[in-house]
Amino acid sequence: MLKDKKILLGISGGIAAYKACALTSKLTQQGAIVKVIMTDSAVKFVSPLTFQALSRNPVYIDTFDEKDSSKIAHIDLADWADFILLAPATANVIGKLANGIADDMLSTTLLASEAPVYIAPAMNVHMYAHPAVMENMKQLETWGYHFIEPGAGYLACGYVGKGRLEEPETIIETLINHQQGKNSAGGLTGKKVLISAGPTREKIDPVRYFTNRSSGKMGFALAEAAAAQGAEVTLVAGPTDQQLEAKNIHRVNVVTAEEMYEEMHRYFPASDIVIKAAAVADYRPKNVFSEKMKKQMGPMQLEMERTKDILKSLGEKKDKQFLVGFAAETTEPLRYGLQKLRAKNLDAIVINNVATEGAGFEGDTNIVTYVNKEEAQDEMALAAKSEIAEQLINCIVRDMKDEVL
C-alpha cells in the first residue's frame, strides 16, 4: 500500500531519532519514496549522511540551502509529499506546529503543506503529560492531524512510562491501515466520523457512582462499520469492557458526562458525521463526598443536578456535520424520538424500545427505526448489533448523498 507513495519524513531532536533510521529503511523497503528533513537538534543525534544513504535522496536541514535554484525547497517539498510523517516529534516541534511557528526548514515546510500529517511523539513521560503539550496535541487533532501514540516503557532519561517512540513496524502498519481506508470502495472514504458509546459514571463518594446498563456494544459496532467503509473514525467511549477489532479507529476513553462533553466538542469541528450512541447520565450528584458515606438508619437523600446536554449543544453548533442521535425509549418510542429529532436539530435519529425483547441494553441484538429529518423511516428487524450498525451506516451514506444532490 505504500509503493510509490511520496513520504516526507520529519526528524526532530531527541534520542529517539536513532529509530528513524530503521523507519526510513523499512519505508524504502515498502516501495515508498522517502525524503528527510532534519532539525538542527536532530543532526546532533544522527548524521544526515545516514538518512541520505538509507533513503537514497538528499537530506534537508537549512531553509536557505536551496539545492535547486529553480525551486523554493520548502514549498517544493510541501507540494511533493503525499503525506508527512514526524517521527520522532518532540514537544518543541509539536508546539511550533500548534501555534503556527515557522522558524526552520521542518516547521516552514509543515505550514506550507496541505498533505495529511502523521505525528509520532517521543519525549520524557512528564513532558508528554504536561498540560501545554496535551493542549497542543488536542489543537492539532481538531485540525485533522493524525497521532501515533507513544509506547510505554523504559525511557532514555531513566524514567519508566509513556513517551517512547512507537516501533517502526507499528508506525508503518498505521500508515498502511490508513491508506487501505483511503483507497477502499466504501461510501465513507475520506470522511471523518465521530461516535460516542457506552455509559458514563457520576461519582457519589470514593466507592459509589451512578451509571446505567449501556454496554457500548452498539456504538462500538457503528465504529467498526464506519471504518469498514473507509472512514477515519474517532470513538469516544465511556467505561466499558468492549474492545475494537479494527486497528485504525482512534479510541478516546472517558468516565463522566462532563468528560464526554469536552471530548465530543473537541473532535466535533473537524468531523463530517457525528453519531451520539452513548447513554449519558442526565443527572449527577450536586455534591461529591470525599469520604465514604456511612449507612444510615433511615432514608437517604441526594441532591442531583443536570449534566450538559451533549446532543443539543452539538445540534446548536453544527454547520457541515451530519448529526445522528439515539432515542432509547420504553413508551411511545416513535413519538418521543421525533420530538428529539426536531428539538435537537438532528439530521437523523435511531429509535428503539428498550423494553422489547432483543432490543435492550447489554444484549448482542437490536431492533431499531432510523428516521431522517424528512421523517422517512427505515425499520430494522431483530438482528445482531453488527448487522444493525452496517444498515445504519448505509442509511447515513444514502442520506448524505441525497443532501448533496
How do the domains of the chain map onto residue ranges? 6-182, 192-404
Determine whether the annotation assigns residue 26 to a binding site: no
Spatial separation of the C-alpha atoms in residues 84 and 336, rounded to whole Å: 48
- CATH architecture for the domain at 192-404: 3-Layer(aba) Sandwich (3.40)
CA distances from 249 to 41, 43, 80, 177, 290 (A): 33, 34, 28, 10, 36
Scanning 36-144, the segments in alpha helix (DSSP H) are 40-43, 48-55, 73-80, 91-98, 105-112, 125-129, 131-142
- pLDDT reported for residue 124: 85
CA distances from 92 to 89, 106, 280 (A): 8, 12, 37
Question: Which phi and psi (to 5°) does residue 358 adopt?
Answer: 95, -5
Spatial separation of the C-alpha atoms in residues 191 and 323, rounded to whole Å: 14
Residue tagged 520524557 (cell numbers): 124
If you average pLDDT over residues 347-358, what whole number do you get?
91
Determine whether the annotation assigns residue 322 to a binding site: no
- pLDDT reported for residue 99: 95
pLDDT band for position 253 (cuts 50, 70, 90): very high
Of 111, 32, 104, the C-alpha closest to 78 is 111
- pLDDT reported for residue 405: 46
Determine whether the annotation assigns residue 282 to a binding site: yes
* In contact, 327 and 351? CB cutoff 8 Å: yes
Spatial separation of the C-alpha atoms in residues 373 and 54, rounded to whole Å: 55
Task: Just list the catalytic residues.
Answer: 157
- pLDDT reported for residue 267: 95
If you average pLDDT over residues 272-279, what whole number do you get?
96
Determine whether the annotation assigns residue 317 to a binding site: no
Of 64, 145, 66, the C-alpha closest to 111 is 145
Say how far residue 76 (Cα) sits from the centre of its chain. 30
Q: 47-105, pLDDT tens digit by residue? A: 999 999 999 999 999 988 877 777 888 898 999 999 999 999 999 999 999 999 999 99
Determine whether the annotation assigns residue 64 to a binding site: no
- Grid coordinates of 289: 463526598
Among 92-96, 103-107, 142-146, 297-301, which is the least confidently predicted range?
142-146
Domain pair 6-182 / 192-404, same fold: yes
Instruction: Please check the confidence at residue 182 and state whether its pLDDT lies above 60.
Output: no
Please give the helix or strand (H or E) that residue 122 lies within, else none: none
If you average pLDDT over residues 331-341, what whole number do you get?
94
Average of per-residue pLDDT values in the chain: 90
Spatial separation of the C-alpha atoms in residues 202 and 281, rounded to whole Å: 8
- pLDDT reported for residue 69: 73
- pLDDT reported for residue 152: 62
pLDDT band for position 17 (cuts 50, 70, 90): very high
Question: Which phi and psi (to 5°) does residue 17 adopt?
Answer: -60, -25
Sign of the torsion formed by the C-alpha atoms of 62, 67, 70 and 74 = negative
* In contact, 385 and 361? CB cutoff 8 Å: no
0.85 surpassed by pTM: no
Instruction: Please check the confidence at residue 186 and state whether its pLDDT lies above 70.
Output: no
Of 335, 314, 339, the C-alpha closest to 324 is 314
Superfamily per CATH, domain 6-182 = Flavin prenyltransferase-like (3.40.50.1950)
If you average pLDDT over residues 172-198, what whole number do you get?
77
